[in-house]
Each structure stands twice: as C-alpha cells, then as structure tokens.
Structure 1
Amino acid sequence: MDKSTIVYILSDSIGETGEQVAKAAISQFNSGKYEIRRFPFITEKSQIDEVLEEAKEERCIIVFTIVIDELRQYLQEKAKEKGIDAIDIMSPIMNSMKKLLGFEPKREPGLIRKLDEKYFRKVEAIEFAVKYDDGKDTRGIKQADIVLIGISRTSKTPLSMYLAHKNIKVANIPLVPEVPPPDELFEVDSDKIVGLTANPIKLNQIRQERLKALGLSDNASYASVDRIIKELEYSDSIMKRIGCTVIDVSNKAVEETASEILQMMRDKDLL
C-alpha cells in the first residue's frame, strides 16, 4: 500500500464501525502510508454519486456500512460500473443472523449508537446514585431526577440503585431528628421528592437484624420501638412540610416501590 492509496468509508450512520474494520485490515500490511476518508450519514443516492465521482480518480477501495437496501444496492452497482472495489461489511453478518433467527433485520441506521447512549446514561445514573447516597453531598438534590427521603432502613439506597438501572438519577437523604434537613429539600419542586415510611414494628425487626449482622446488641436505642416512632413522627412532619408524595414500604419489595415511583414520574411528566 503506497502513499496514494485511499480508503473511502461510507455509512448511513457515523461510519465508525467501517473505519475501525478498515484500520484493522490495513494494520496487516506493512506497506507505507494510507489515507482514510470518512463520509457519514449517507441518505441520498446523490451523495453516493459525489463520492464515486471523486473516488474514480484515485487508487482506492470503498468500505461501507449501509443497512438501507436501496442505497446499498445502488452503491454496489455504481462502484462496479466505475471499477472500484466496494466492501460491504454489514450484509454478510446480517444475512447469517437473518438465517439463524428467522426474521428480517430492522435496517435502521445508527442503532448501535443508540444502544451505547442508553448504556452510558445508565452508568451515569449509577455513578450519581453512589455519589449522592445517604446525604453524602446535598448538592445532588438539585441535580437529581428524584430525591428519596426517609429514616434509616426504609430502602432508600436499594431503591436509588434500582432506579439508577432505569436511567433515573436519584439522590437520597436520611431524616434524623437531631440533624436539620438540608435547605435544598425546600428549594426544589416537591413533585420530584418521594418520602418513604414504614410500620414501626417492621422497622424494629429490620433494625434488630441489621445490628446482629454488625455484631452489635439488638437492644441498642437504634432498634427500639420508641426511638423508631420518634423518628417516624419527625420524618412525617418534614414530608408534610415539603408536601411530597409518601410511600409506605412496609410490605413492598423494592421493585414494587420503584414501579410506583416510575408511575408517579410519568403522571407528573417527570419522565
């Protein structure tokens, strides 16, 4: 491959896949310089004509990832007429998958990019939930899609992580009688705040199990019913002051509570 060799990359999306495959192939040849010219978002035959008009004067090949049948066939026919090799990367794989699965591909450009974007949104939401868990940084309240508030052991953290996997950015804030709630709770729209509460007897059982797991006495005030009732009364006063939605999680699985929150978000146009 000499310095005049050009690889044209044509795609009905961004063309990154075609370029990476071309580079992988080029790396197998120790033969000098090359140039890659990428032409993304090919959606019209006239665009193909313009590229081929340029390419016919060069020593080149064409590598393409076009999934729209009409454009793919047009490119192959016109490239052949001009004596230019055009390598179709997608069709052999898609044809084999079609034979294996028994149904037609979507033939929609850019699907992998959409999937990647969804994945990165999920990662971002998970990182957000970790960063703003348990009131570690109250600045997250104003950035969050949803803010969970409640006393200890009302499933704030598990809910935050579950919702994060649904691409929802969640901050959670513990409510403790001895610690004033952060000002930010009263500065954001109450529609995006969800209060979590539970039956004191149920919380008593959960906290006792938690203390045992930590190797501590289950007689600590943390697990006493009187202490729990005091905390619940305090949290109830804060939730009423905010005017937020309140969910009793006593007999609900995390998935069930999350489903309620997601429905609430849809109803309030937060999704």
Structure 2
Amino acid sequence: MTKQQVKIYVISDSVGETAQRAIQATLLQYPAVEATIKIFPFVTEIDELEPIMREAAVEKALIAITLVDPKLVQWVTDFTSTHQMTLVDYMTPLMTKLAGLTQEQPIRKPGIRHAINQDYLKKVAAIDFAVAHDDGQQLQSFLKADLILLGVSRTAKTPVSLYLANQRLKVANLPLIPGTPLPEDLLSWPKEKLVGLTIDPKRLQSVRQTRMAGMGLAKANQYTDLEQIRAELQYADQLFSQLKIEPIDTTVRSVEETAAVILAARKAQSD
C-alpha cells in the first residue's frame, strides 16, 4: 500500500526536541502516513523565520513550533493564516492556560529544556568520573579531575567524592596506605586540586570496627588497631605537610559539611 506523504517543518528557539518527540509519537498512530520532518533549531529572529516559512509554503508543509517569544509566535500565526497553512503550536496554548490558572506569567526564556539536559549530562559525567576514579583507580587520568581527595581508609573520601559529583565536579580519590607506593609525580600535582582528609584516631577506630562488624569480620585486627591507625594518620599528615595542604578534619563533620568546606575553599581560591 502506498503511504500518504506529508512534510513537517519543526521550528524551535531551542533544539526542537519537544516537538519532534510529540510528532513521532503521533505518527505512530498513522501507519499509512509517511512524514518527512525538517528541524530548524535556535530560531530567535523574524529574519530567520521568514525564509523557512516561505520554503514551507512552497512545500505545503505542516508547521510545528516550540517558540516562547510572542512576537515570533504571532508572526508565524499570521503567516500560516495568510497562506492557508496548518500550524501546531506546542507551547502557547498550555502557557496561556497555566497563566490563567495560576496568575503567573511565563519567563519566556528560550532553550531552558536544553540547558537542563546539558546540566543533567554534566552531573552524570561527574558521577561516572568519581566512580571510575574511586580508591586510586585509573591514576593515569587523575589530573583530569577538578579535585583529588587524599586520606587514609574510612575518612569519607568516596561519599564526599560522590556528593561533590552531584555538584557537577569531577572528583578522584586516592587512599593513603603506609608502605604502598604513591604516584611518582604526586608532589608536582596542582595544589589547588588536592584536598586532604583526616580524622581523630579513636573515631576512625570506631568507624572501622563498625565496618568490620557489618561485613561479619572480627573487630580486632590490624585494620582496627589503634596504634596502627595512629601510624597511618601520622603518615598522611607527613604527606600533607610535604604537599603544603591543610587537611580537613572529618571527625565531627557529616559528608555534606565536609563537602561544604571544600566548596568554600574552592570558591575562595577562585575569587
């Protein structure tokens, strides 16, 4: 069976994704119709609109718009009326209804959805980076991080990294273990990227004992031995001194509080 052909011009002040998805969903209900869809994104001026609309008139295309500027909407409306063209406006009717219902006026800012999508993608990328660079993994790309957290085991490096990733920062973390070699070029890493984390020895012992119990392991071992913990923290302090960074004490700070201190220091550096 020969399908009926239709041309659809999508005109948007952003990427046109909203109208395109709605059209594609609608077309599924018309198996006998084959549509050619042309997308015209980031249209914000009448000078840009006019040649598109004249071409559409020649092609006898259906016009679908997601425009928030009322001047552009009115221009398209007038043009389609004059040329007896079919217009689908995906934004104006709903905005008008919402304004009447809430007594609030739309901000009419183009491309908000695109900006939100970009922000979401940035967040996902930061979380992926934190997971991939957790606990010293993928050292070869550590310097791509916005921040690098250093500290002995159970000083909240991972949860702080993930919290900061939700703030769109790419964070790596490196465990400090006496006797385990450090990256050869660590002392030359940019100081503004390095963040040291420390904690009270007895508090760290308690945290580790809880961790061991949760795993069904004995509480008393080298990992939870207080003298061993003190030696680890002393080792970390010596490294922080070499790196000339002041560590953040996480003893009585939550993950959110620790992250807030880090973000405040980062802001102070940039001011």
Letter of the 2:4 partner, please give it.
Answer: D
The RMSD of aligned alpha carbons is 1.8
Q: Spell out, residue by residue over 1:20-78, the C-alpha distance to the aligned partner (whole angstroms, 9 max, x if none).
A: 22233233223354322222221111222212222222222111111111111111012
Cα distance, 1:212–1:2 mapped onto 2, change above 3 Å: closer
Question: TM-score scaled by structure 2?
Answer: 0.93
What is the aligned partner in structure 1 of residue 37 from structure 2?
36
Cα distance, 1:100–1:224 mapped onto 2, change above 3 Å: farther
Would the aligned equivalents of 2:27 and 2:33 in 1 still touch at CA under 8 Å?
no
Q: Distance in 1 between matches of 2:123 and 2:63?
A: 36
- Could you list the runs of 4 or more consecutive aligned residues of structure 1 that deviate by over 6 angstroms after TM superposition? none
Letter of the 2:191 partner, please give it.
Answer: S
Q: Distance in 2 between matches of 1:255 and 1:153?
A: 16
Which residues of structure 2 form unaligned runs of 5+?
none
Q: CA deviation at 1:106?
A: 1.6
Q: How does 1:177-216 map to 2 (within 5 A)?
A: 177-216=178-217
What is the aligned partner in structure 2 of residue 95 from structure 1?
96
Would the aligned equivalents of 1:150 and 1:175 in 2 still touch at CA under 8 Å?
yes
Cα distance, 1:254–1:55 mapped onto 2, change above 3 Å: same
- How high is the sequence identity, in percent, across the aligned residues? 35
What is the aligned partner in structure 1 of residue 243 from structure 2?
242
Would the aligned equivalents of 2:197 and 2:250 in 1 still touch at CA under 8 Å?
yes
Q: Distance in 2 between matches of 1:203 and 1:33?
A: 66
What is the aligned partner in structure 1 of residue 159 from structure 2?
158
Would the aligned equivalents of 1:191 and 1:245 in 2 still touch at CA under 8 Å?
no
Q: CA deviation at 1:187?
A: 3.0
Letter of the 2:106 partner, please give it.
Answer: P
Q: Secondary structure of 1:34's partner?
A: strand
What is the aligned partner in structure 2 of residue 2 from structure 1?
4
Q: CA deviation at 1:134?
A: 0.9
Letter of the 1:30 partner, please give it.
Answer: P
Question: TM-score scaled by structure 1?
Answer: 0.93
Letter of the 1:120 partner, please give it.
Answer: L
Letter of the 2:174 partner, please give it.
Answer: I
What is the aligned partner in structure 1 of residue 218 from structure 2?
217
What is the aligned partner in structure 1 of residue 27 from structure 2?
26
Q: Distance in 1 between matches of 2:217 and 2:33?
A: 70
Q: Secondary structure of 1:244's partner?
A: coil
What is the aligned partner in structure 2 of residue 173 from structure 1?
174
Q: Secondary structure of 1:157's partner?
A: helix
Letter of the 1:223 partner, please give it.
Answer: T
Q: CA deviation at 1:151?
A: 0.7
